[in-house]
């Protein structure tokens, strides 16, 4: 009886340790900050596929991202902000990579040229009021 109880206890402890490792993976975020370290914003990226997201490489790892996230990272880099890929493990954060030159770009996503131009705002409109008017017309 004692022996079977000991074996059962070991199996339970072993099973719990395995389930703990399954939940150890956290959420991943790209965080933007000014050169002085002040937080400016973040976007979540996914370690697993999701419908509507694109497969992309960040610092040698595969993630799934929305095209708007990639556009945002391009704009943040262009504005001179620092981008950091972090894993959020609940109460702690771990920097995965701080090399924004290894972040995906819109060109890396396999989108059509017209989609990339549209996302980047290269639609040929130079007047902001005209551009906003055309966008609002599209929603009527």
Record the pTM: 0.67
pLDDT at 94: 94
Q: Which residues contact 89 (CB under 8 A, 6 or more apart)?
A: 24, 26
Q: What is the pLDDT of residues 105-127, one digit of tens each?
A: 888 888 888 888 888 875 444 45
**Least confident interval from 4-13, 25-34, 72-81, 122-131:** 4-13
Q: Which two tokens stand for residue 61?
A: 């790892």
Q: What is the mean pLDDT of the chain?
A: 78
Q: Is 46 helix (H, G, I), strand (E, B) or coil?
A: strand
pLDDT at 13: 42
> In this predicted model, what pLDDT tens digit does every residue of 94-104 receive, in sequence order?
999 999 888 99
**In 10 A of CB 66, how many CB atoms?**
18
């Amino acid at each position: 009886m004692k022996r079977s109880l000991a074996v059962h206890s070991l199996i339970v402890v072993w099973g719990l340790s395995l389930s703990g490792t399954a939940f150890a993976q956290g959420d991943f975020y790209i965080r933007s900050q000014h050169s002085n370290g002040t937080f400016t914003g973040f976007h979540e990226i996914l370690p697993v596929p999701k419908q509507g997201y694109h497969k992309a490489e960040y610092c040698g790892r595969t993630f799934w991202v929305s095209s708007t996230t990639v556009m945002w990272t391009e704009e943040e880099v262009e504005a001179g902000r620092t981008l950091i890929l972090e894993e959020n493990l609940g109460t702690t954060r771990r920097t995965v990579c701080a090399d924004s030159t290894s972040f995906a770009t819109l060109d890396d996503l396999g989108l059509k040229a017209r989609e990339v131009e549209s996302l980047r705002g290269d639609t040929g409109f130079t007047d902001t009021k005209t551009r906003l008017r055309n966008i609002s017309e599209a929603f009527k």
